[in-house]
Amino acid sequence: MQRFILRKKNHIALISAILIAFAFISKWTIGNMDLFIWPLMISSILGVLPILIQAYQALRVKVVSIDVLVTIAVVGAFLIKNFEESAIVTFLFLFGAYLEQRTLNKTRSAIKELTEMAPESALKQMENGEFKEVEVEEVDVGDILLVKTGAKVPVDGTVLQGEGHINEASITGESLPVSKKKDSKVYAGTILENGTIQIVADRVGEDTTFGRIIELVEEAQDSKSEAERFIDRFSKYYTPAVLVLAIIVWLFSQDIELAITILVLGCPGALVIGVPVSNVAGIGNGARHGVLLKGSEVISDFSRVDTIVFDKTGTLTIGNPKVADIETYTDDTDEVMSYLASVETESDHPLAKAIVEHIGETEAYTVEKTEVIKGGGIAAQVDGHRIAIGNVALMEKENVHLDEKARDDISRFEKRGNSIVLTAVDGMLKVLIGIRDKVRPGVKDDLQRLKKLGVKNLIVLSGDNQGTVDLVAKELGLTEAHGNMLPEDKADYIKRLKEKGRIVAFVGDGVNDSPSLALSQIGIAMGSGTDVAIETSDVVLMNSDFSRLPHALGLTKATASNMKQNIIIAVGVVLVLLASVFFSEWMNMSIGMLVHEGSILAVILNGMRLLGYKLRR
């Protein structure tokens, strides 16, 4: 019976409204008091039932909720035969709850849209070579799938054949279609606007980028900020305090109607709901614009950030370096280049890929005894020779002599903004390579926007040489630049910043950034970075779109401000209502409940403004 009544709460509110309207029409037209009082009595009894059930459920877990206050107030008004007040208060409370639910559902619409975008079926290639439609849960890693025009991509995968344009707005927030061809990466939940492609499944189910987005956003909604936890604790004691105040007023004044009115006016509904609705709306806006905010606590901390530290490669730069300069110190260049390509093929470092791409096809040698030197480079045995590839520190460790010419060349390469890669064979320097990575388009403007949002310190930390890092910092107008830094050096630097009282955000995309992402108050991962970086971070910029960073910071500041506004509205309304009871003659239960429900709607609508937030350029 309890469940039935609660399910029909909205219908009860409608019946109450009809009964109240009938009562007042009867009074104003034919003046029949029986037809005025009885509908109000029925409306009061009917309306209080769902509120009474919710109050009972709250008391069972030892919580004095708003429903308890309203139930006592309505029953008290009924007992003193103030049926007009009891009927109107129950209707307003039920109608307010209905409006709250409607508007709250709108704030959650961005999250609901995400879950509705999740693909449900896929065209899977069967053993006979034909494609058959199956549930997306039946797709395994390695399966070949067909995606036609207008269809959703069912999994994360790689294009095997075909071409087309895909709308990746569900992942990146970017509405412009992205061209896809052989070897291009595609993501679950995106839509193929034109063309037909075959893909091989790389990630399926919850492991897809889209699946992780939904999971992270849902987790973020469930988390609570310090402000929310404080309000929960506050309301836990505030609500019983209102009940005690009402009892004290009744004992001293002997005015039961005044005591009941205080119960209604003191309800902290707007205070309880104001902060969560801001958080949900802020997280929803971020999800729609390619920014994952992992919880309410993240919003609070990120909004106060005054220092942002960046990794260089793949964050401030594109992360696709190319060989720009070469200097050789040997006559057998081809053989050395073959050794170099053979060793670098073993590595997945961006600089190694750039070297292999530049050298192109060459003789391949068997590589033995490969040794990765942390923060230095790589050494290996090739064709009976000891090959060392890396920076100046590695050359010194390998006792490779760098004469004056070599050092001048290194200095010249660094001044051009090159990352330096030296190659030595059997302790002799053979090749110097300069590799440059382009700064991301628009990064300089985005950094200026961060400054306007109140970030005082913009710092770059990199394992690259100091000269290259200085050039990037000068070009982008950064506050500080530090090169030749190992992962532990970056982590130590962030510790020192925190000890100085700075509120630090770190932006990176690699496995070696994970300690710094975890140490900083806010870790921000580029979405196309490694899984470890994304899992360690507090904020994820999908598709590695750097321009999302100013939007993310602006959004968290707007959300934090919105929370404060809602708290001020909620507390202000309660104070005004309680003051009006003692210092005015016009305040009563019905007006108080109307204003109370109005304040709840006000904080919800104020929070909903965040759904349309866009950072002004």
Taking the CA atoms of residue 607, residue 611, residue 612 and residue 615 in that order, the dihedral angle to the nearest 10 degrees is 90
Q: Tell me the two tokens of residue 257.
A: 């109607």
Nearest to 463 by CA among 437, 429, 498, 497: 437
Structure-token match 């899984």, residue found: 531
- Which CA distances in Å does 92 have to 86, 98, 175, 252, 397? 10, 10, 43, 29, 79
CB of 388 closer than 8 Å to CB of 395:
yes
Query: Among 67, 156, 311, 464, which one carries the catalytic annotation?
Result: 311
- Which CA distances in Å does 173 have to 150, 198, 471, 487? 18, 24, 32, 31
Distance CA 369, CA 382 (A): 9
Q: Which amino acid is at 390?
A: G
Structure-token match 């006979």, residue found: 128
CA atoms within 13 A on the CB side of 2: 7
Radius of gyration in angstroms for the set of CA atoms belonging to the chain, rounded to a whole number: 33
Q: Which amino acid is at 610?
A: L
Nearest to 366 by CA among 387, 336, 339: 339
Q: Tell me the two tokens of residue 84.
A: 């007009």
Q: What is the DSSP string of 304-321?
A: T--EEEEEIIIIIB-S--
Distance CA 273, CA 271 (A): 6
Nearest to 559 by CA among 310, 291, 315: 291
Note the Cα 582 to chain centre separation in Å. Answer: 46
Catalytic residue check, 306: no
**What are the residue numbers of the active site?**
311
